[in-house]
A and B are shown apart, each in its own frame.
Chain A
Amino acid sequence: MNGFKSEIDRRSFMYGLGASLGSVALTGMMGSEVTASGTRATEDIAKQAHHPAKAKSVIMLFMEGAPSHIETFDPKPKLNELHLKNFVSENERFSGMTRGNRFYVGSPYKFRKVGNSGLEMCEHFTHMAEAEVADELCVYRGCKAESVNHPAALFHMNTGSRFGGDPAIGAWVNYGLGSVNENLPGYVVMTELAAPQGGSGNWSSGFLPSKYQATRLRSSGSPILDLNPPKWKTRDHQRMNLDLLSEINLESVKNHPQHRELESRMDNYELAFRMQMEVPDLVDLSRESEQTLDMYGLNQESTAEFGRKCLMARRLVEKGVRFVQIFSGGWDSHDFIERAHKKRIQSVDQPIAALIKDLKSRGMLEDTLIVWTGEFGRTPDNTIRGGQTAIGRDHNAQAMNMFFAGGGVKKGTVVGATDEIGGEAVEVVHPIRDVHCTMLDLLGLDDNKLTYFHGGRYKQLSQFGGEVIKEIIA
């Protein structure tokens, strides 16, 4: 291998000549985009926000399957009084899921007030209950979703539309703000091993240019698909091939001098080559201290998986990634909620607390917006299944809870409320689109101006416009 060394240097130099033709573009990871007519689109590095931003980046913690608000941050003692009594409701808007023989379900968990702010949390949040974490949170209880069908609701929360395929919020944010790090994607998603229902429709760029779609950092195998060549092709080998490719391509540039797309296409090869170096470094956690790994729970089985994602999220944001979304699955507890939700809460409690503490100690929390949410909430009652009463909850679009932290949101606060059984949001009630508008607002973006002309009209994340939830903003 060493025998090739001097040869490589010479080639790199030659490539330098080639590359100057196309001026290696300082665009996002997806490379500079070229329009169909071959003219270069405007660069999009760190574009101007619409108004001063409170947050620069977002970490969205998505609890897929829909966590129960009644078992997390919205205690309903009334339900304990009604426990197992018949629940009666007939409403033509209810799906098959919420009809039939039903009964009230009291929460199996105890709640207590935590921190100096006195936020209410269920007993299984122990790390997040620490004052330095709890007092950072803004719990929001007023959101109403629309669909109780998992994929439709996931699409709605992620893209503003229930039908999938529209640009995800992370794509909109990158479209609006541009990227900071030329060698990394601006929008990164880390799912459970299994993609959530609806799959990549949850993080696609939709009708926005494809460079805004999320890059899925894979939890096993290659972090980015086909990032590296087969093992028997070394980096030096790759370099030699790329150099020769650039010579072939330079001929084509000579043959088609008016076809501008060719130059940016060549730039993409160099960008790709740099990414092959940068990305493995990024996912390599070996340089993190043992104390950090411990704090995120990487050393115990129950928290290791989500902890790793939280730690990765911090590293990505640190490197300038705008929008990081991580998924935790398994929250769909129709039955045996006591056991199931406890396990899920425990798997995320310590990692999230660590993320908040870590960001805080690095001075990053104030410009990083953390959002914790599911796709909808759960019902105060359950149905009789298999002829038996099981303690769990069905899907509920009328009530849910989520929390925000960092990036310009109120600290240690509860905003909004649900009714006394947690069936429906009744105070500071807003649809999902208003949550989206609020997130954009914190990033310095105005949903009404963050538009893209497609299919004959200016489209926007909220679809038809929404409101900022002022109560959430500090």
Chain B
Amino acid sequence: MLLAFSLLVVVTSGQEPTDAQEGLDREKHFTLVVLPIMQRRCFACHGKNPDELKGELDVSSIEGILKGGESGSPGIERGNSGHSLIMEAIRWDGLEMPPKENDRLTQAEIDAVGKWIDEGAVWPDLEKQNLILKKNAEGGNFSGKVMVTSGGLSKAWDNRRYNPAEVWAFEPIVKPDVPDGKLAYSSEIDSFVNSKIANANLEPTEIAAPAVLLRRAYYDLLGLPPSIEETDAFVSAYSKDPNGAWSELIDKLLASPHYGERWGQHWLDVVRYADTSGFSNDFERSNAWRYRDYVIRAFNEDLPYDQFIVQQIAGDELAKDKNSSSNSAPKVTLSEGLVSTGFLRMGPWEHTAMTPEKVSRQIYLDDLTNAVGETFLSTPLKCCKCHDHKFDPIPTRDYYRIYAAFATTQPAEMKSEFLDKESRNGFEEQKAHVQRLLAHATEKMNSLYAKREKAAKEWYKERGRESDYAPFDQRRKPTFLGEKPRRFIGLSIAEEGELKVREQDVRLWTRRMERFQPLAQSIYNGGDYLHSSLKLREPQNKYQLSKVKPIGKTQILDGGSVYAPSIEVTPGVLSAIGLNSGASSTSEDPFKLTDAVDGRRLGLARWIADSKNSLAVRSIVNRVWSLHFGKGIAGNPNNLGASGKAPTHPLLLDYLASEFIANGSSIKWLHKKIMKSNVYQRASSHPQFSKVENADPNNQLLTYFNPRRLTAEELRDTMLVLSGEINLAVGGLSIRPEMNLEVALSPRMIQFSLAPGYQPDSTPSQRNRRSVYIQRIRGLSDPLMEVFDKPNSSESCEMRDSASVTPQVFTLLNSDVVTKRSIAMALRLQGEDKSVERQIERGYLRSLGRVPSAAMVQKLAAHYKKMVDYHRKHPPERESFPTEITRRVVEEFSGDPFEYQERLDIYEDYSPDKQASDVEVETRALADVCLLFLNSNEFMFVY
């Protein structure tokens, strides 16, 4: 596409082309069109460098091309593209060049090369080429858009022409006129959408039934199903005043504290929230939950989006900023600011002795740079880490300018007092649990130490050197001279292994005590000071401070290699939007940010949050839209660039973006605007479905509403609501529900050891809270959540997958977790009504959202009776929980396996959920029926 535009060689109209003119056109065509194609697609393997030359073919000069490669035939025949080997290769016709799908020439590019050959394959000398390039940059006769940036690594990149349709997101937002017919619709959204539908000669479907709308709105805003009573009340209110009832419903749901849990989850998907660090140790980030709750609060309080941006990127600097009077945003305290900048700690990252410090540091900064682009600008930046962006107007220079904006940002656990609004429920109990396991590991470790030291003393005694004995920590130092006992003296090989396990356990549980301290996973500004990520703290004492590296200049890293620094850059912002960097902007460098230690992030954040930052505003509006409709106006909410899907309704997006700013960047305003449109309220079927399907197979025109599957969290939360077990408490320490026991206890390698087994919380009310609060362990996925497409938290997730795959069947039909929900559901129904038919009817209505037919109730009741007989004959076994497990590990010193005991203290005093063996046959039979509901299609989808 890009080329199609730049290919148009415009000959001055009204003039017969002269020979000279024709010659110039051919030279222009070569210099501006053909040569860049060859540079981009061919030179890497067929360029000047003889070491890299593939197939002995050099196409970097006309001589080389005419000579040809190892086949011996010339690459082209001048004037005859039909007889040119190179054409066969680039058409992938016989030969296939370039060999990669990604690099393959577009048809327009192939045509351009063919035209060049047919016109005699002119190749002007370098001087001529430069002249043409210069003229072109001054606005020669070529179409396509020039994008001004801070400058690429090559002139050719700077001179690139862009197809306006691919750089749309970088352009300023101009509020478009609403298409005609506005008055006929309740919302401007309908005018935009319906005018396109009319153009396609189609019609939208009707408005969905009230019960369908109610369920849709509940799941969309709360991620929870409505109760039977709420359904009755809404259907009745709707029959009297549809618009009033709908509007009231939206207000009610937006005011619910559970709204923030649902929408916070979306944001947590984008930022890759997890409670652990990933990689070899998967250390707990004990206070990450404070950032999670911050996000939930921000949505509930409808924090204006621009402030949400600044608080996450630079909350700490904002709190310290003396000049914040220039900014009307309310002050945040340093404690709050440190919690909200938890955003900068969300990526998987660790530093251990296995990785050079420089490389660990680079990995952290690369991650932040890309994450900020992807999250707030919907522009992944990692594409331009090694080269200027291939499609978007983002030079590598800009990548390293943003990288530089984070160059003084250091990850650490920072002191941050708990806020009144933060829940500290369960602190005492969980602390006791951690202390128990810490004490257990310490005791085991100490007894092994004692054994070792006893043997060491013995060793010295045998040699008559009793006075040379020194404790292990002194003895092991290289400066401690003389012959010494071996490292693990007195311990068997199995004990050596166990000691390493216990030592690692002590480290883990000690770290976990941080859950209860006023700390935040956050950052501070300063020089590089890397140490093991077991404990990340701001350097305090003299020794630590002496280890801090001075703050250096940021340099572009050639090829992305930390060992190949080249051009120096100052901190700055993306240049292609043309929005200057505000206070630190200068006339020579409008995109510059401060290069002081402090303030770099605040400058960057304010630039992103600027209402004129077209990428950022379009990004959030498109995200909100995409979550309501299951797809964005622009189809890749994380990528609005040329390689993301083009917007289906660009004018609508810009209309909503301008109104969003005019309405105080309020996300709740945007929900309301969207949900009040007819487009959102449409039914999920269409009376002329085959016509619509032919004309618009992917429903891009939104003639009907796309049904969607429940997300993993919605599924689990809904089961808990139906069973009546849910505890809707908001916020606080992460929770641990029951997980498939095989997975929970299956050993998991971490450095030197095995991770402690997963133990659930000890009481049902702790366990059965909403899924957004589940502790997210990077190295251990809950199979229930994983199989229903909870993202893996290493990559940002713009939209959930929702395919139906067979392992979901095993989970829903056979798993212990779902079986227990069906039993609780049955118990609840039995408590509500004596009649089996009524129980079945209520269960069906609750789960599927509609009243069953009488025939279906009868069928289910008959099944129930049969199941009662069945269960009489098949009594269940009682499930028990282990309080200790034997671990078996291969000891690396010996290659032999060894065993040790791990204590599972939670099960020593555990309140289990009701299980099959606790309940009567009637309950088990009704649970069978409930299990069918939980497996049914209509339960699983939102229409």
The answer to whether B685 and A258 have CB atoms under 8 Å apart is: yes
The answer to whether B874 and A232 have CB atoms under 8 Å apart is: yes
Most chain A CB within 10 A, of B359, B806, B916, B941, is at: B806
In the complex, A245 Cα to B876 Cα: how many Å? 23
Assuming A194-B754, A198-B779, A451-B101, is B380 touching A456 (CB within 8 A)?
A: yes
Does B935 lie at the interface of the complex (its beta carbon under 8 Å from any beta carbon of A)?
yes
Does B749 lie at the interface of the complex (its beta carbon under 8 Å from any beta carbon of A)?
yes
Find chain B residues with CB under 8 A from A343 CB.
894-896
In the complex, A388 Cα to B481 Cα: how many Å? 11
* Set A210, A237, A329, A340: member contacting B870, Cβ < 8 A: A237
Interface residues on B, range: 35 or more
Does A222 lie at the interface of the complex (its beta carbon under 8 Å from any beta carbon of B)?
yes
Does A261 lie at the interface of the complex (its beta carbon under 8 Å from any beta carbon of B)?
yes
Assuming A39-B697, A148-B354, is B684 touching A259 (CB within 8 A)?
A: yes
The answer to whether A257 and B354 have CB atoms under 8 Å apart is: no
Question: How does the 8 Å CB contact mask read for A443-456 relative to B, with 1 for contact and 0 for none?
Answer: 00010110100011
In the complex, A14 Cα to B275 Cα: how many Å? 49
The answer to whether A265 and B804 have CB atoms under 8 Å apart is: yes
Task: Report the minimal beta-carbon distance from B245 to chain A, rounded to whole angstroms.
Answer: 24
In the complex, A330 Cα to B890 Cα: how many Å? 6
The answer to whether B792 and A101 have CB atoms under 8 Å apart is: no
The answer to whether B641 and A456 have CB atoms under 8 Å apart is: yes
Question: How does the 8 Å CB contact mask read for B72-93 relative to A, with 1 for contact and 0 for none?
Answer: 0000000000000000000000
Assuming A194-B748, A340-B894, is B805 touching A230 (CB within 8 A)?
A: no
Residues of A47-106 at the interface with B, using a CB-CB cut-off of 8 Å, are 65, 92-97, 101
The answer to whether B783 and A225 have CB atoms under 8 Å apart is: yes
Does A339 lie at the interface of the complex (its beta carbon under 8 Å from any beta carbon of B)?
yes
The answer to whether B748 and A335 have CB atoms under 8 Å apart is: no
Assuming A197-B749, A241-B928, A268-B808, is B916 touching A232 (CB within 8 A)?
A: yes
Task: Report the minimal beta-carbon distance from A100 to chain B, rounded to whole angstroms.
Answer: 9
The answer to whether A240 and B636 have CB atoms under 8 Å apart is: no
In the complex, A230 Cα to B875 Cα: how many Å? 11
In the complex, A366 Cα to B780 Cα: how many Å? 38
Task: Report the minimal beta-carbon distance from B938 to chain A, rounded to whole angstroms.
Answer: 5
The answer to whether B932 and A245 have CB atoms under 8 Å apart is: yes
How would you classify the secondary structure of chain A's contact residues: helix, strand, loop or mixed? loop
Find chain B residues with CB under 8 A from A264 CB.
804
Stretch binding the partner chain, chosen from B664-672, B721-729, B812-820: B812-820
* Set A165, A194, A257: member contacting B685, Cβ < 8 A: A257
Does A386 lie at the interface of the complex (its beta carbon under 8 Å from any beta carbon of B)?
yes
Does B139 lie at the interface of the complex (its beta carbon under 8 Å from any beta carbon of A)?
no
Assuming A240-B866, A343-B895, is B805 touching A211 (CB within 8 A)?
A: yes
Question: How does the 8 Å CB contact mask read for A210-251 relative to B, with 1 for contact and 0 for none?
Answer: 110001001001101111111111100110110011011101
The answer to whether A344 and B895 have CB atoms under 8 Å apart is: yes
The answer to whether A272 and B794 have CB atoms under 8 Å apart is: no
The answer to whether A164 and B278 have CB atoms under 8 Å apart is: yes
Question: How does the 8 Å CB contact mask read for A144-166 relative to B, with 1 for contact and 0 for none?
Answer: 00011111100000000001110
In the complex, A313 Cα to B810 Cα: how many Å? 23
* Set A93, A221, A238, A395: member contacting B356, Cβ < 8 A: A93
The answer to whether B892 and A334 have CB atoms under 8 Å apart is: yes
Assuming A195-B749, A226-B815, is B476 touching A36 (CB within 8 A)?
A: no
In the complex, A96 Cα to B279 Cα: how many Å? 17
Does B323 lie at the interface of the complex (its beta carbon under 8 Å from any beta carbon of A)?
no
The answer to whether B816 and A230 have CB atoms under 8 Å apart is: yes
Task: Report the minimal beta-carbon distance from B103 to chain A, rounded to whole angstroms.
Answer: 8
The answer to whether B876 and A232 have CB atoms under 8 Å apart is: yes
The answer to whether A456 and B643 have CB atoms under 8 Å apart is: yes
Most chain A CB within 10 A, of B356, B631, B697, B933, is at: B356
Find chain A residues with CB under 8 A from B638 CB.
455
The answer to whether A198 and B783 have CB atoms under 8 Å apart is: no
Assuming A92-B358, A244-B863, is B928 touching A340 (CB within 8 A)?
A: no
Does A460 lie at the interface of the complex (its beta carbon under 8 Å from any beta carbon of B)?
yes
Does B888 lie at the interface of the complex (its beta carbon under 8 Å from any beta carbon of A)?
yes
Smallest CB gap from B750: residue in A: A197
The answer to whether B936 and A31 have CB atoms under 8 Å apart is: no
Stretch binding the partner chain, chosen from B113-121, B192-200, B283-291, B795-803: B795-803
Find chain A residues with CB under 8 A from B866 CB.
240
In the complex, A253 Cα to B937 Cα: how many Å? 8
Does A333 lie at the interface of the complex (its beta carbon under 8 Å from any beta carbon of B)?
yes
Task: Report the minimal beta-carbon distance from B528 to chain A, rounded to whole angstroms.
Answer: 14
Assuming A257-B685, A333-B895, is B806 touching A456 (CB within 8 A)?
A: no
Find chain B residues with CB under 8 A from A148 CB.
354-355
Smallest CB gap from B44: residue in A: A465
Find chain B residues with CB under 8 A from A31 CB.
804-806
In the complex, A237 Cα to B814 Cα: how many Å? 12
Does A108 lie at the interface of the complex (its beta carbon under 8 Å from any beta carbon of B)?
no
In the complex, A251 Cα to B849 Cα: how many Å? 14
Smallest CB gap from A101: residue in B: B478
In the complex, A395 Cα to B352 Cα: how many Å? 13
Smallest CB gap from B931: residue in A: A241
Does B881 lie at the interface of the complex (its beta carbon under 8 Å from any beta carbon of A)?
no
In the complex, A283 Cα to B487 Cα: how many Å? 44
Task: Report the minimal beta-carbon distance from B297 to chain A, rounded to whole angstroms.
Answer: 29
Does A385 lie at the interface of the complex (its beta carbon under 8 Å from any beta carbon of B)?
yes
Does A271 lie at the interface of the complex (its beta carbon under 8 Å from any beta carbon of B)?
yes
Stretch binding the partner chain, chosen from A172-180, A199-207, A291-299, A418-426: A199-207
Does B327 lie at the interface of the complex (its beta carbon under 8 Å from any beta carbon of A)?
no
The answer to whether B643 and A457 have CB atoms under 8 Å apart is: yes
Does B353 lie at the interface of the complex (its beta carbon under 8 Å from any beta carbon of A)?
yes
Does A474 lie at the interface of the complex (its beta carbon under 8 Å from any beta carbon of B)?
no
Does B686 lie at the interface of the complex (its beta carbon under 8 Å from any beta carbon of A)?
yes
Smallest CB gap from A229: residue in B: B814
* Set B278, B740, B801, B894: member contacting A210, Cβ < 8 A: B801
Find chain B residues with CB under 8 A from A34 CB.
803-804
The answer to whether A248 and B932 have CB atoms under 8 Å apart is: yes
In the complex, A169 Cα to B391 Cα: how many Å? 28
Find chain A residues with CB under 8 A from B896 CB.
343
Smallest CB gap from A257: residue in B: B685
Smallest CB gap from A390: residue in B: B487
* Set B356, B874, B877: member contacting A95, Cβ < 8 A: B356
Find chain B residues with CB under 8 A from A96 CB.
353-354, 356-357
Smallest CB gap from B708: residue in A: A36
The answer to whether B748 and A265 have CB atoms under 8 Å apart is: no
The answer to whether A231 and B877 have CB atoms under 8 Å apart is: yes
Other A-B pairs, 19, CB within 8 Å; known A224-B807, A339-B893, A390-B487: A34-B804, A36-B630, A96-B353, A96-B356, A97-B354, A151-B279, A152-B279, A192-B890, A195-B747, A195-B748, A199-B781, A211-B803, A226-B811, A232-B871, A256-B943, A341-B895, A344-B895, A455-B643, A457-B102
For this complex, 14 residue pairs linking A to B, each with C-beta atoms less than 8 Å apart, are: A149-B355, A151-B280, A163-B794, A199-B779, A218-B746, A224-B807, A230-B819, A230-B876, A252-B936, A259-B707, A384-B478, A395-B354, A456-B643, A460-B102
